[in-house]
């Protein structure tokens, strides 16, 4: 039987996810948890041993929505050799396309772009470098480029570190006044390509700023009366966030669907590889999540005997794995992702102690204990801090031990240095709060770019990924060179743009927006415009630093811009890290309101209920996939049954009942909670698996998340469960 790919979901996990977030039934109501400031007396505290006069703040963080027992049971068939063998065959086919010179440079540009956007470029680093070098040295062929090709070529070359200047590529598109020709507006595909290229501009490149303004205006105009749905989808996606600012793995998930619709230049082998690789890599991520979760459960900070429940901090383990995945997604860096998730969870724990829960006296004691970096310092701390302090030491000591064992380098002094610096600046922010001090924007950013945690994460990115740690390189990354400093600056700006309103509402320190409002005497709207301006300017600095020489190499050099991209992803529509919009919608009356709508933008939030395990219809549009699309379930998946049966000489099962029996053998509970008020009218056979060849929607129409998807031509929105639970 021939290899086939389908757009129908089929189970690839044996985990019964219905228990991970229990649905209540039709009487359930919409729950929306909003953080508010709550002050607790000592008797209300989570620690019975605190001083009776301590008044504690509480951020009322939404509780963790994960059942870690179910996470620990994650499995995927895509770890099996049969899929790796097929992927190897597809890689050979794609490799031949890259080394084939007969296609011409224009086609080569598009092929490289597709491979990069589909998330499989890590397989072809040498071939892509050779292909782009061939394009670069044949500059005489650039003369006949149209706007689309010229812009694409510029973006690919500059993003790969080639010395290419705007004048070399774009001068021919200017009029006698030096402005972009107005006739270019008819070429929407070219305008979109130029728009994406403009975000790779450097400081003092005025043309790139002009191109960004010009293309943004005309792309918005195009959306008012477009004629091509696919092109409009691309334009809307780009205007929401440019490609250069997006996390590569999420972009790959979105682009798989787009590429499949692109009939003009879609290459089946490339698409097949992208789908299969997505699932194989996803299986690796799932195994990493299991290891990371086991560490967190064993650490047991939420289940400490002798202490009341420590519920003052955010338990966001999987969100922290999302951060590490956003920084470096290449499969072989699994240890990095697991250890960095541990580090970022620890950062969040300390952040919540310093920001909200601890008294100033306690925070000073904790900072001194970190300076000692010795288990004996635990005696100076109150009980709730003792377990946090020991957790900090134990987590870092375990990482230091593995590093010493593998490389013979003791990184303990470096760990102490980075954590002490962060805690000292946490303490500065706490003193600002108690003194009601509003710093200038400059004063604030010097502190806040460290307390956001980015330098800590980036320094560990070098430690956890480099093949040979050296003192010189450690000194280099600890000095926060431009690449790390400017990326950390941007991460803080993105954080503040998304979280400032909530944090101020609960009484936290002023953020960048409020600092500038106070300093310049301007409105919040003007302050936000200024922060957005700084965002664009600092991206130019990062663009320059990305192509500059460094004593460190990839992936330590790609992690800094990636932390900015991940910050955009997390905070674009609010605080995706804290995710205070926790909705549970199983009520028939609210069945059409399953997505989160932020009050200001009116657009669905980036997480789209992924944390609670279900999706919104979204009319006829597909939402941008989230973190969870990458880790828990895939909607772009390779069809397991089609491939497995064809390669095992097994007769294809065509009867629905037989197919359902097969699915049932995988232990998925086909218990559908139909939330649509017309659920009784849905034909019974639509609630079972339909063989892929029939062209009907396949298995189980969101059975994992508790309800049935619309049985029309709409595209459903994959969620977190998509990532761990099933494939198309």
Query: Could you tell me the CATH number of the domain that includes residue 167?
Result: 1.50.10.130
Residues 597 and 625 in one domain: yes
Tokens describing residue 655: 């009867």
Residues 343 and 365 in one domain: yes
How does DSSP classify residue 633? B
Query: Could you give the CA distance from residue 642 to residue 3 in angstroms, rounded to a whole number?
Result: 7
10: left (phi over 0), alpha (psi -120 to 50) or beta: beta
SS3 556: coil
SS3 326: helix
What is the pLDDT at residue 572? Answer: 86
CB atoms inside a 10 Å sphere around CB 10: 24
SS3 604: coil
| Number of domains the chain is built from | 3
Query: Could you give the CA distance from residue 213 to residue 199 in angstroms, rounded to a whole number?
Result: 11
- 558: domain CATH number? 1.10.600.10
Assigned domain for 649 exists: yes
What is the pLDDT at residue 657? Answer: 36
Residues 402 and 358 in one domain: yes
Q: Could you read off the pLDDT of 501-555 as tens digits, one per residue? A: 776 776 678 899 999 999 999 999 999 999 999 999 999 999 999 999 999 999 9
φ/ψ of 417, rounded to 5, equals -65, -45
Query: Could you give the CA distance from residue 50 to residue 52 in angstroms, rounded to a whole number?
Result: 6
Tokens describing residue 291: 């290891």
Q: What is the DSSP string of 109-150?
A: HHHHHHHHHTT-GGG-HHHHHHHHHHHHH-GGGGGG--HHHH
From the list 719, 640, 720, the residue with the least C-alpha distance to 79 is 640
| Residues 611 and 20 sit within 8 Å (Cβ to Cβ) | no
Assigned domain for 253 exists: yes
φ/ψ of 626, rounded to 5, equals -110, -175
What is the pLDDT at residue 277? Answer: 97
What is the pLDDT at residue 65? Answer: 76
Residues 677 and 542 in one domain: no
Residues 334 and 471 in one domain: yes
What is the pLDDT at residue 67? Answer: 81
Tokens describing residue 169: 């590529």
What is the pLDDT at residue 313? Answer: 82
Tokens describing residue 615: 């999706």
Assigned domain for 301 exists: no
| Residues 410 and 395 sit within 8 Å (Cβ to Cβ) | no
Alpha helices in 521-595 (DSSP H): 524-547, 559-571
Query: Could you give the CA distance from residue 280 to residue 115 in angstroms, rounded to a whole number?
Result: 17
Query: Could you give the CA distance from residue 236 to residue 227 in angstroms, rounded to a whole number?
Result: 14
From 551, 571, 591, the end of a domain falls on 571
φ/ψ of 37, rounded to 5, equals -85, 125
Assigned domain for 296 exists: no
Residues 565 and 589 in one domain: no
Assigned domain for 289 exists: no
Query: Could you give the CA distance from residue 396 to residue 390 in angstroms, rounded to a whole number?
Result: 10
Boundaries of domain holding 240: 81-275
Task: Tell me the CA distances in angstroms from 607 to 280, 579, 595, 598, one per residue in order.
Answer: 23, 8, 9, 11
Residues 360 and 489 in one domain: yes
What is the pLDDT at residue 60? Answer: 67
SS3 334: helix
ω into residue 555 within 30 of 0, thus cis? yes
pTM of the full structure: 0.77
Residues 253 and 321 in one domain: no
Which residues 6+ apart lie within 8 Å of 675 measured at CB? 26, 585, 586, 587, 588, 591, 706, 707
From the list 194, 445, 460, the residue with the least C-alpha distance to 324 is 460
| Residues 709 and 618 sit within 8 Å (Cβ to Cβ) | no
From 542, 571, 600, the end of a domain falls on 571
Q: Could you read off the pLDDT of 634-668 as tens digits, one per residue? A: 433 333 323 332 333 322 233 333 333 333 333 33
Query: Which residue numbers in the chain have pLDDT < 50?
Result: 1-50, 579-625, 627, 634-728
Query: Could you give the CA distance from residue 601 to residue 606 in angstroms, rounded to a whole number?
Result: 12
What is the pLDDT at residue 538? Answer: 98
From the list 288, 376, 388, 269, the residue with the least C-alpha distance to 328 is 288
| Residues 484 and 455 sit within 8 Å (Cβ to Cβ) | yes
Query: Could you give the CA distance from residue 258 to residue 253 in angstroms, rounded to a whole number?
Result: 9
| Residues 334 and 284 sit within 8 Å (Cβ to Cβ) | yes
CB atoms inside a 10 Å sphere around CB 694: 12
Block residue for tokens 């470029």: 121
Residues 521 and 438 in one domain: yes
Query: Could you give the CA distance from residue 314 to residue 33 in angstroms, rounded to a whole number?
Result: 14
Residues 565 and 587 in one domain: no
What is the pLDDT at residue 578? Answer: 52
Task: Tell me the CA distances in angstroms from 493 to 183, 196, 535, one per residue in order.
Answer: 37, 22, 7
Query: Could you give the CA distance from residue 662 to residue 665 in angstroms, rounded to a whole number?
Result: 5
Assigned domain for 425 exists: yes
From 571, 600, 616, the end of a domain falls on 571
Assigned domain for 525 exists: yes
Query: Could you give the CA distance from residue 87 to residue 274 in angstroms, rounded to a whole number?
Result: 9
What is the pLDDT at residue 364? Answer: 98
Residues 479 and 556 in one domain: yes
CA 379 to chain centre: 39
Residues 328 and 191 in one domain: no
Block residue for tokens 């377990």: 387
The burial of 233, by beta-carbon neighbours within 10 Å (0-12 exposed, 13-18 middle, 19 or more buried), is given as: middle
From the list 635, 652, 633, the residue with the least C-alpha distance to 3 is 652
Assigned domain for 300 exists: no
């Amino acid at each position: 039987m021939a290899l086939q790919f389908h757009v129908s979901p089929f189970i690839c996990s044996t985990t019964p996810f219905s228990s991970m977030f229990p649905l209540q039934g039709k009487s359930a109501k919409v729950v929306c948890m909003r953080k508010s400031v709550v002050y607790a007396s000592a008797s209300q505290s989570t620690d019975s041993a605190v001083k009776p006069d301590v008044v504690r703040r509480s951020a009322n963080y939404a509780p963790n929505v994960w059942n870690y027992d179910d996470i620990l049971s994650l499995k995927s068939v895509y770890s099996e050799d049969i899929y790796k063998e097929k992927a190897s065959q597809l890689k050979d086919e794609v490799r031949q396309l890259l080394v084939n010179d007969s296609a011409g440079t224009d086609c080569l540009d598009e092929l490289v772009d597709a491979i990069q956007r589909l998330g499989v470029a890590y397989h072809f680093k040498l071939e892509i470098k050779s292909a782009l070098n061939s394009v670069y040295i044949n500059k005489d062929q650039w003369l006949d480029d149209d706007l689309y090709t010229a812009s694409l070529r510029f973006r690919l070359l500059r993003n790969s570190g080639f010395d290419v200047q705007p004048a070399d590529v774009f001068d021919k598109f200017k009029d006698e006044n030096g402005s972009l020709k107005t006739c270019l507006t008819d070429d929407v595909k070219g305008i979109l390509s130029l728009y994406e290229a403009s975000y790779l501009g450097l400081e003092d490149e005025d043309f790139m700023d002009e191109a960004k303004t010009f293309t943004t205006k005309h792309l918005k105009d195009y959306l008012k009366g477009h004629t091509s749905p696919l092109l409009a989808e691309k334009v809307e996606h780009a205007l929401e966030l440019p490609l250069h600012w997006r996390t590569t793995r999420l972009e790959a998930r979105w682009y798989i669907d787009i590429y499949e619709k692109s009939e003009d230049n879609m290459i089946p082998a490339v698409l097949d590889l992208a789908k299969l690789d997505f699932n194989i890599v996803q299986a690796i991520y799932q195994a990493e999540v299991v290891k990371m979760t086991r560490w967190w459960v064993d650490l047991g900070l939420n289940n400490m005997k002798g202490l009341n429940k420590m519920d003052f901090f955010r338990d966001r383990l999987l969100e922290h794995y999302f951060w590490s995945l956003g920084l470096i997604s290449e499969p072989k860096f699994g240890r990095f992702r697991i250890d960095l998730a541990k580090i970022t969870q620890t950062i969040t724990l300390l952040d919540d102690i310093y920001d909200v829960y601890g008294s100033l006296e306690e925070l000073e004691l904790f900072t001194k204990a970190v300076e000692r970096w010795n288990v004996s310092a635990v005696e100076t701390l109150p009980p709730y801090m003792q377990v946090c302090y020991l957790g900090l030491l134990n987590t870092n000591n375990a990482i230091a031990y593995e590093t010493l064992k593998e490389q013979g380098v003791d990184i303990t002094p470096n760990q102490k240095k980075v954590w002490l610096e962060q805690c000292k600046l946490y303490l500065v922010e706490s003193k600002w709060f108690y003194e009601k001090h509003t710093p200038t924007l400059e004063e604030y950013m010097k502190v806040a770019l460290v307390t956001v945690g980015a330098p800590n994460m980036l320094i560990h990115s070098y430690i956890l990924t480099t093949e040979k740690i050296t003192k010189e390189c450690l000194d280099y990354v600890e000095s926060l060179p431009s690449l790390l400093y400017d990326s950390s600056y941007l991460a803080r700006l993105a954080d503040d743009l998304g979280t400032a309103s909530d944090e101020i509402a609960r009484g936290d320190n002023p953020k960048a927006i409020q600092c500038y409002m106070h300093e310049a005497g301007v409105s919040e709207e003007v302050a936000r415009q200024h922060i957005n301006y700084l965002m664009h300017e600092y991206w130019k600095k990062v663009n320059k630093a990305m192509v500059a020489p460094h004593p460190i190499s990839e992936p330590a050099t790609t992690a800094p811009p990636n932390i900015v991209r991940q910050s955009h992803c997390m905070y674009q529509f609010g605080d995706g890290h804290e995710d205070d919009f926790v909705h549970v919608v199983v009520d028939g009356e609210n069945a059409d309101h399953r997505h989160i709508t932020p009050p200001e933008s009116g657009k669905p939030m980036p997480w789209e209920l992924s944390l609670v395990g279900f999706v919104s219809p979204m009319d006829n549009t597909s939402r941008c996939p989230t973190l969870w699309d990458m880790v828990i379930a895939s909607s772009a998946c390779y069809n397991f049954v089609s491939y497995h049966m064809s390669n095992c000489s097994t007769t294809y099962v065509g009867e629905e009942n037989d197919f359902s029996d097969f699915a049932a053998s995988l232990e998925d509970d086909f218990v559908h909670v139909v939330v649509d008020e017309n659920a009784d009218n849905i034909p019974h056979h639509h609630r079972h698996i339909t063989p892929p060849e029939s062209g009907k929607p396949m298995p189980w129409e969101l059975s994992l998340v508790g309800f049935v998807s619309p049985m029309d031509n709409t595209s459903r929105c994959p969620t977190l469960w998509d990532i761990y639970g099933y494939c198309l």
